[in-house]
Every structure is written in C-alpha cells, then in structure tokens.
Amino acid sequence: DAGVTQSPTHLIKTRGQQVTLRCSPKSGHDTVSWYQQALGQGPQFIFQYYEEEERQRGNFPDRFSGHQFPNYSSELNVNALLLGDSALYLCASSLVTYEQYFGPGTRLTVT
C-alpha cells in the first residue's frame, strides 16, 4: 500500500515566480491537508481539502491556493514567490479528519 507521495522532492525558484506542488493521498483517504515547515520550526497549517472544496484555512495569504481532484489528489500553488516562502511543504492525507499521514515533503528554495 503506497503511502502519501509528493512531487517534486526538491525545487528551486526565483522570487516572483509561481510554483505548483503535487500530492497523492494514501489509498482510501479522501482528505488532504497542506503544511509549511520553515527551517527549525513546526509545521504550519495552510489549508485542508475534502470533496474538492477548501474546508479549513490557516493564516496564509491568498498567494497560496490549492485544488483537489476527483481522485483525491491535490495541488498547492504559490504565486509571486517571496524569499520567505522557502520551506519544506508537507502534504498529509486522512479519512475525513482522522489522524493524518504525512508525505516526505517538497523542499522549496526561493532565490
């Protein structure tokens, strides 16, 4: 049983660019949540998707947007990248809102 997968593993972008990160949930899971983990900090909740709708959102600007597809996979989009967006982006999947299973993350570096 494949767990949560994320792509790409690493990404380098320039300030002002846009980026799309992808997540495939664990088999049988229908809810996807995204987190930003800056270096030396705990993950910060960005948003959560269920039935292709954003159900909850953390304290992140509108530059951060997402999408969930009918197969439950999800994308995180970040526009107008800032240096401060450099972080590990984690995707977690769950069955509705039960315990979350995390992917290995995408390391985004903004230069």
As measured in angstroms, the least distance from the Cβ of 94 to other proteins is 9
Between 19 and 94, name the residue whose CB sits nearer to other proteins.
94
Residues lying near other proteins in the complex (CB under 8 A): 4, 33, 35, 41-45, 48, 50, 55-56, 58, 90, 92, 96-105
Tokens 């992917």 -> residue: 103
As measured in angstroms, the least distance from the Cβ of 88 to other proteins is 10
- Residue 77, CB-side half-sphere exposure with 13 Å CA sphere: 8
Contacts with 98 (C-beta within 8 Å, 6 or more apart), sequence order:
none
